[in-house]
A and B are shown apart, each in its own frame.
Chain A
Amino acid sequence: MDARLLRTPLFDWHVSHGGRMVDFAGWAMPVQYASIIQEHLAIRSAVGMADISHMGRLRFEGPGAAVFLAELLTRRVADMELGQIRYSLVTNDAGGILDDVLVGYYHNSHGQPFFLVVVNAGNRAKIVDWVYAHLPRERAEQPGQEIIWADVSRLWAMFAIQGPRSVELLQPLVDVDLQSMRYYRGAQALILHPAAKRQGGIISRTGYTGEDGFELSLGASIAPGVWEALVELGKPLGAVPAGLGARDTLRLEAGMPLYGHELSEQINPFQVGLGFACHLVGYDFPGRNALLDIQKEPPRSVRVGLEMSPGTRAARQGCTILAGGRTVGQVTSGTYSPSLGRPIAMGYVAAEFSRPGAELQVDIRGRVESARVVELPFYRRNKPATGGRAPK
């Protein structure tokens, strides 16, 4: 393992528990412990936990924070209530996607409100630079308009606890009522375990698996102890630690885009189906004018889901999508779906071939296989989380 890779607070735990460590966006992360399929299915049927401490987390506070974030993000934040979380994008001046983020509005134990923006690990440096470049320095120095911000990614660990039994697993560890917490809501919570040394954390009903679940941000120093407590508490529930491999197959089944695959600076939000995350009227942010123009025409190339017959090879990122021998698009992510037992993929195709049911082909390493356009997501859980409405 490359010693220059960044390590999460759980690095030693991963290594000593058989985690296969890979370089993910400059971090040494476990891609799997034993089997990706087993980890995947445990999260679908019971619960699993993943170390996601590599996620970038930027914290903004001060009276000028809300105004500044509204000038940076595609989605309005000024009207957010405490405890609310929104999915948003950061776009460049041309309307291309710089990152997709979750913005949460919380208050700390002293009642001080702050925003927490969770960014992709691979985009953290880019977004930090983008924040610096757009920070209104003069205004931020004016009394009553101060903006205080910090990259807290390496101070805080972050766990994803996902699966239908995640409330059961997590409830004994936190002092907030998880059952009544709505989807895309979060709260500052006290972590009720001696290993947490009476520290708190931020718990939110969010995730990247298509399953009910939570994400917990907590201090790096207490993270290993709390993680071990979770592992122990989880054993009778069938909980397993899960690596990035299962995280990828889970998000793919859930039809969730991933930066570097479905999302890039060459892709605009309308192509992905993320128009809902762009508030263009009455707001101004980089890319807003470009997006107003782009929005006038329907996108020529759009994101689709592709399903293939069981027993076929899986289409992977970069494979060409064909219609009757003609190139009409490209695969951005593909895998074998453990829940469906067949290969699935996402990609971009010319709009006229994007209708669900369209019969297309994919060139997989020189051999053409049939693929059918299907509605996203590929997998939908049976019961929605209490309250709240899932974002598109």
Chain B
Amino acid sequence: MPQDLRYSKTHEWVRVETDSAGGKIATVGLTAFALEMLTDLVHVELPKVGREVKAGQPFGEIESVKAVSDLYSPVDGRIAAVNDTLAGNLEHLGKDPYQTGWFVKIKIGDEAGLAELLDEEAYKKQCEEEEH
């Protein structure tokens, strides 16, 4: 589990970077733990570039054989990019969830949501609790 990332309670990972214009971009994906819990992924629904998203609100959904789960935005902002290669590679998503397995890049409007995110240690603790 990478240490430089932040984690949401709903199992998204977030990498915050600064773009060339000085704006902040959040790259968002699902953690290895979440993918392991979901297993058997068969479908992913991602938003269109340009869509407004709100912290704590769903921006898409991921479906496994058993169930459908919402994907939650960790920040307020606007979708800047979408990983179009995901849908065709769902069975391999678990192999590289933190690099090629990103879902969306969000141009951050309000950073307030970031403060709510967990660091690696706190997220690990949450995962351990959920396993029991």
Contacts and interface: CB of A to CB of B under 8 A. Distances in A.
Interface of A: 31-32, 34-37, 245, 249, 311-314, 316, 335-336, 338, 365
A31 B42 CA distance: 17
Interface in B27-76: 39-40, 42-43, 45, 61, 63-66, 68
A36 B40 contact: yes
Nearest to B66: A245
B65 A336 contact: yes
B40 A37 contact: yes
Interface of B: 39-40, 42-43, 45, 61, 63-66, 68, 87
Contacts of B61: 365
Contact of A313 (B39, B40, B45, B65): B45
B68 A365 contact: yes
A148 to B, nearest CB: 42
10 contacts: A32-B40, A34-B39, A35-B39, A35-B40, A245-B40, A312-B43, A314-B68, A316-B68, A336-B63, A365-B61
A335 B39 contact: no
B43 A336 contact: yes
B68 A338 contact: no
B40 A314 contact: no
Contacts of B45: 313
Nearest to B37: A20
A31 B39 contact: no
A313 B66 contact: no
A37 B65 contact: yes
B48 to A, nearest CB: 14
Given A36-B40, A313-B43, A338 B66 contact: no
A314 B39 contact: no
Given A31-B66, A245-B66, 20 more contacts: A32-B39, A34-B39, A35-B40, A36-B64, A36-B65, A36-B66, A245-B65, A311-B43, A313-B43, A313-B45, A313-B68, A314-B42, A314-B43, A314-B63, A314-B68, A336-B40, A336-B42, A336-B43, A336-B63, A336-B65
Contacts of B68: 313-314, 316, 365
Nearest to A34: B39
Which 4 interchain pairs have the tightest Cβ spacing?
A: A336-B42, A36-B65, A36-B40, A37-B40
Contacts of B64: 36
Contacts of B42: 314, 336
